[in-house]
Amino acid sequence: MGQGSLGGRQGFTDIGMRRLRVLNQMLSWVERQLPLADKIGIPLVAITILTATVLSANTIASSRKQIDRSYRTQARQLANVIQAEFSARYRRNLEDRATTSQFLQELKRQDSTILDIHIYRIVDEQPLLWASSDLQELRHSSIQTKAILPLLTDGSAQMTETANAELETIVPLRANGQVLASIVIYSSLQPRDDAINAATRTIVLTSALGISAQSGALMLILYWAVLRRIKHLSHAALQVAEGDTTVRVPRANLEPGRDEILSVAREFNRMLEAVQRRSQQQEALAELGQQALEEIDLAELLDKVAQLVARTLQVDYVDISELLPDCSGFQVRASAGWEPQSLPQKITPVTTDSPIDYTLRTNEPVVIHNLSTEQRFRGLKFLQQHGVISSISVLVANFEQPFGMISAHSKTQRAFSNDDVVFLKAVASLLTAAIDRHRLEAVMAQAEAALARAEAAETAKQALEKEIIERQRIEAALRESEERYALAASGANDGLWDWDLRTNEIYFSSRWKSMLDYADTEIGSNPNEWFDRIHPDDYERVQLEIRHHREGLTAHFESEFRLRQKNGTYCWILSRGLAVRDSAGNVYRIAGSQTDVTARKLAEEQLLHNTLHDELTGLANRALFTDRLDRAIARASRCRRASFAVLFLDLDRFKVINDSLGHLVGDQLLVAAAERLKRCLRASDTCARLGGDEFAILLEDIQESQDAITLVERIREEFKAPFLLAGQEVFVNSSIGVVLDTDRYRTKEELLRDADTAMYRSKAAGRGCYTIFTPHMHEQAVTLLHLEADLRRAIERQELRLFYQPILALHNQRLMGFEALLRWQHPQRGLLLPMEFLSVAEETGLIISIGWWVLREACRQMCRWQKQFNLDNHVTMSVNLSGKQFSQPNLVEQVKAILQETGLEPNRLKLEITESVIMTNADAAAAMMQELKAVGVQLAMDDFGTGYSCLSYLHRFPIDTLKIDQSFIHSADQDLEKLEITRTVISLAWNLGMNVVAEGVETDRQMAQLKLLKCELGQGFFFSHPLDPPAAAAMLDQVVAR
């Protein structure tokens, strides 16, 4: 096949070269007929280009001179303007260097081409740069000799600096006929060069267009008439010579006519199409030959052949059919282009008037050019139904009998060439070789399999003989081993047993009987002597394990079970045994031993108990509790009536007891609490210590929710009695979270999470109480979690805002200061008040960094207002300190640093501390406040009257202001007791030298009452809502204006 292919390709090369030589001769003849066009056209074009080039050069040179002269004149005109200005208005002010420089700067700004303007003078016989449009030059510039040339020679000059693209104009400055100074103007030549380049481009473009128009007119006729066609044909010929057979002469150049050049081009294209088809067929055959040699499945090879033929012949359908051994029918084995359901699925009979019968009889290919006019064959209705018009088929032969037929079908009329027939025959030959190879390989594989089976049979025979010999050796060794085992068992103090299945009798050794406290004569040889003493819970399992071993499912018998002793108690036994089989594989004997493992089992049970129980209290630990909780959830999901509830308990003030009385007393409290909890529970309930002072209770099989509530009340009642710890009574309550609606839970983690949430709600509600969980609590917990995450990023995102509420004197409405109030501009929830996020900040510790930000921002704002409005000294900025801030050891240093950083005077800052924070540790608070007073800041006690009512301690603190909580102000006109408290606080503050601020003033009535009580200051919505910085600044502007 390879030689045939090479021969065909060599023949194509010879024919193609002969045709190319003929084509080149024709092209040479055409070139000889066109000498006049070559001799006239090219000189005319050359003369046209030369003339246009000379004219363009002269025009460019003239334009450059004109533009350059214009720029030089412009610089001299500017010098004249300067001369005129100094002669008219600045004659006496030339000595004013600053004014002169400003004038030069104005001139520079008016003209973008001016780089710099300098005026030089001689002062004290020394040249000096007197004025300049660039102040930096005025201070640092060195003086060149040419700059003062007019002062020396009374002349002027213009010089071009090509490197910097600058024009330097030097002229004298005269007044009253005298040269007073030298003017130096530096102009940029970039605009000039840009203008020259633009003019040059315009001239060159115009000339090029003229040349192109003239040359094009001369060459167009010559090119369009002949040379264009010759060029395309010549280009195609060169590409073919280089091996590219896909090239074609463009169809636009093949207009109908009798032109000989066009005829040559059309024949050239047809020749190339034929050459390309042959090349594609050769490549396809080479690819098919490669695939036929590869180790692939025959069905896969047939599919690839069908696809390859369809692609190479560019037909719509290809099918490969396989004949039956007797050639009476055929079936399609592979296809391309056909829909799978459209091909016949059954065997099609071979009829006498079909194409396949013709090829079988004649071994000739079948070529049908038009199916509608075909008269040789019948039974072509299937192809006609699918729109087939032309078809070609060849026989796939074999060395024994034909394999089948390969057919290609086209839905457009095709005149299949002899090359197509030869190609399809070559494909059939390659396919035949591949099929023969596959069949031969199948025969060889069968032979090898048969040989392998024979070898395996011989090997099995030898193995069987070896197995018989080995079995005999093993049986002898087994008997010897049994004797050694009996001796070893006797030494190990184990009991032996030997069960003869043929007589159904068991031999029990003396040690076996003594393990159960029986004498030799008290136990016979009946198997029931053994099996009747097995614990009922273990009986079926032991019987099953013995049966599995007898049936060969286990290699040996081994079981741990409980065996009843003579006194009725049970001991744990480990029994082992091995079955002995006869030559037929039937068990006829089982022998073994038993060991008393009671001590080990008790130790394991104790270890398991320790693993699942709390060491201190003996209650279930977290592992056991969560396991039982998992089972309760699974049981509830299967049966709705299997209701259960979960309680989560935490001992209140346990840490205080632990820290004050010691950890040993704390452990005693946990043990006592566990005992009280166990007294409240049923046997089916589970109480566990999860860790620390946290307990959990699982109530299973409750009938209604009230059952759980009843247990909670019982627990609370138990905890009302005092605990006797270390010789003293201690009262401890518990906060309890309850989850009742357990049907909706699928995991223990979610259930414990919600019980814990409910427990913390109980602690927040005042301790010693219980809370039943609702889904809303979880939503709130998730919201708080998201709020915490957002709050951590609020400072870096600059989302915190400060608003300022005015503090006014009540008698004259005079502004006395502001209180800085924090707000959070949340990106989704809008402006949030402190009550919505400060609790989260307290819990997470973020309150400290937020507090320092508030203090710094308030001080910075107050300092800006002081500079802007020149505020009176009595106007202060009040800032709240949180409890955690006040307890910071570096509080004083932080306040000092912020005051120094912002530049605010200390006496304008008033720090507000709540009464409850101060009274947490009065002595430490007093010391800290003394240090703050030493810094110079003012101090105020906020929310006075709501905490410890520290009237007796008030004189100990260096406080400047008392702030009465708004709860007293709102109800003073209705509650006489609160009115009297307010009066007392105001009187006490007067006596201690403090001023008083009433918070939350909202009505005229409250205002009037405070005036009657001689309260000095107030703040609230009656005067103003909190203001953002612009609004507060507007208020200050009005105050200053008054």
What pLDDT, on a 0 to 100 scale, did the predictor assign at position 781? 67
Would you state the pLDDT for residue 625? 92
**Do 907 and 895 form a contact (C-beta atoms < 8 A)?**
no
Please, are residues 11 and 19 in contact by the beta-carbon 8 Å criterion?
no
**Confidence tier at 806 by pLDDT (50, 70, 90):** very high
pLDDT of residue 2: 39
| Structural contact between residues 143 and 180, judged by C-beta atoms closer than 8 angstroms | no
Residue 42 scores a pLDDT above 70? no
Architecture of the structural domain at 613-773: 2-Layer Sandwich (3.30)
User: What are the backbone angles phi and psi of residue 141, rounded to the nearest 5°?
Assistant: -75, 145
Residue 159's identity, in one-letter code, is: M
Contact 172, 182 (CB under 8 A): yes
* Rama region for 427: left / alpha / beta (φ>0; ψ in -120 to 50; rest): alpha
> Residue 15 — pLDDT band, cuts 50, 70, 90?
very low
CA–CA separation, 679 and 49 (whole Å):
120
- DSSP β-ladder status, 495-500 and 505-508: antiparallel
Grade residue 313 by pLDDT with cuts at 50, 70 and 90.
confident
Bigger pLDDT: 795 vs 216: 795
Query: CATH classification of 493-603, choosing from 3.30.450.20, 3.40.50.10490, 3.40.50.280, 3.40.50.1220?
Result: 3.30.450.20
877 and 818 in contact (C-beta within 8 Å)? yes
Residue 218 forms beta bridges with which residues?
A: none
Handedness of CA 51, 54, 56, 59 (dihedral sign): negative
Q: How many helices (H) and strands (E) does the chain have?
A: 32, 32
Which pLDDT value is given to residue 90? Answer: 45
Q: What is the DSSP string of 989-1004?
A: HHHTT-EEEE----SH
Instruction: Please measure the distance between the N-terminal and C-terminal CA atoms of the chain and give it in whole angstroms.
Output: 115
List, for residues 966-985, the tens digit of each pLDDT value.
888 887 667 777 788 888 88
Fold observed for domain 788-1036? TIM Barrel (3.20.20)
Shortest CA distance to 563 belongs to which of 538, 527, 592, 535? 535
What residues have CB less than 8 Å from 60, skipping those under 6 apart? 199, 200, 203, 204
What is the per-residue pLDDT across 238-249, written as a single tens digit (0 to 9) for each? 665 555 556 566
Residue 44 has pLDDT above 60, yes or no: no
Distance of CA 914 to the CA centre of its chain: 47
State the pLDDT at residue 267.
64
Q: Say how many residues make up the chain.
A: 1042
- The pLDDT of residue 240 is 58
Tokens of 316: 């719509």
Can you tell me which residue has the tokens 């264009």?
Answer: 228
Task: Please give the average per-residue pLDDT across 65-69, as a whole number.
Answer: 75
What is residue 34's predicted lDDT score, i.e. its pLDDT?
Answer: 46
- Please tell me the predicted confidence (pLDDT) of residue 8: 36
Tell me how crowded residue 580 is: count the other CB atoms within 10 A of its CB: 15
The segment(s) of the chain belonging to CATH 3.20.20.450 are 788-1036
Q: Is residue 993 over pLDDT 60? A: yes
Average pLDDT, the chain: 80
- Whose CA is closest to 898, among 930, 857, 928, 848? 857
**pLDDT grade, residue 836 (50/70/90)?**
confident
pLDDT recorded at residue 81: 73
What is the rounded CA–CA span in Å between residue 679 and residue 174? 120
DSSP characters for 687-722?
Answer: EEEEETTEEEEEEES-SSHHHHHHHHHHHHHHTTSP
Tell me what pLDDT residue 567 has. 93
If one counts every other C-beta atom within 10 angstroms of the C-beta of residue 600, the result is 13
Q: Is the pLDDT at 254 greater than 50, yes or no?
A: no
Nearest partner of 434 among 426, 672, 978, judged by Cα: 426
Please check whether residue 1010 is in contact with residue 976, taking contact to mean a CB–CB distance below 8 angstroms.
no
In the chain, ranges of CATH 3.30.450.20 domains: 493-603
Give the integer Cα–Cα distance in Å for 912 and 964.
12
Confidence of residue 4 (pLDDT cuts 50, 70, 90): very low
pLDDT tens digit sequence for 405-445? 888 888 888 888 887 888 888 888 777 777 777 777 777 77
Q: What does each C-alpha distance from 827 to 264, 780, 794, 796 come to in angstroms?
A: 80, 19, 10, 13
What are the angstrom distances between the C-alpha of 267 and each of 19, 30, 602? 10, 17, 107
Least confident of 89-93, 789-793, 847-851, 865-869: 89-93
User: Per residue in 474-523, pLDDT tens?
Assistant: 777 767 766 665 565 555 568 899 999 999 999 998 889 999 999 988 99
Closest CA to 943 of 997, 892, 995: 997
pLDDT recorded at residue 257: 46
Residue 623 Cα distances to 564, 603, 626, 684, angstroms: 34, 20, 5, 18
The pLDDT score that the predictor gives to residue 92 is 47
> What does the pLDDT average to over 546-564?
92
| Amino acid 49: pLDDT | 65
**Beta partners for residue 750, in sequence order:** none
Residues of the chain with CATH 3.30.450.40: 294-444
Q: pLDDT, tens digit, for every residue of 637-665?
A: 887 666 889 999 999 888 888 888 888 99
Kindly report the CATH number that applies to the domain delimited by 294-444.
Answer: 3.30.450.40
C-alpha to C-alpha distance for 1037 and 869, rounded to whole angstroms: 7
Q: Confidence class of residue 319 from pLDDT cuts 50, 70 and 90?
A: confident
Residue 284 has pLDDT above 80, yes or no: no
**Rounded distance between C-alpha atoms, residue 606 and residue 608, angstroms:** 5
Lowest mean pLDDT among 16-20, 150-154, 238-242: 16-20
Cβ–Cβ < 8 Å for 593, 578: no
Does 46 have pLDDT greater than 70?
no
Q: Are 971 and 978 within 8 A, CB to CB?
A: yes
pLDDT at 264: 59
Residue 536 has pLDDT above 90, yes or no: yes
- CA–CA separation, 35 vs 92, rounded Å? 87
Here the tokens at position 212 are 């192109």
On the 0-12 / 13-18 / 19+ scale of CB atoms within 10 A, 477 is exposed
Burial category of 42 from C-beta neighbours within 10 Å (exposed 0-12, middle 13-18, buried 19 and up) = middle
Confidence of residue 775 (pLDDT cuts 50, 70, 90): confident
Query: What is the pLDDT at residue 282?
Result: 66
Which one-letter DSSP state was computed for residue 256? Answer: S
DSSP per-residue string spanning 630-694: HHHHHHHHH-TT--EEEEEEEETTHHHHHHHH-HHHHHHHHHHHHHHHHHHS-TT-EEEEEETTE
- Asked which of 291-295, 387-391, 838-842 is least confident by mean pLDDT, the reply is 291-295
Pairing status of strand 770-772 against strand 734-739: parallel
Choice between 925 and 357, residue whose per-residue pLDDT is larger: 925
Whether the Cβ atoms of residue 674 and residue 687 lie closer than 8 Å to each other: yes
Tell me the pLDDT band of 361, cut-offs 50, 70 and 90: confident
> Quick one: pLDDT at residue 238?
61
Amino acid identity for residue 969 in this structure: I
Sign of the Cα torsion 84, 89, 94, 96 reads negative
Least confident range from 219-228, 406-415, 824-833: namely 219-228
Higher pLDDT, 960 or 374: 960
**Confidence tier at 951 by pLDDT (50, 70, 90):** low
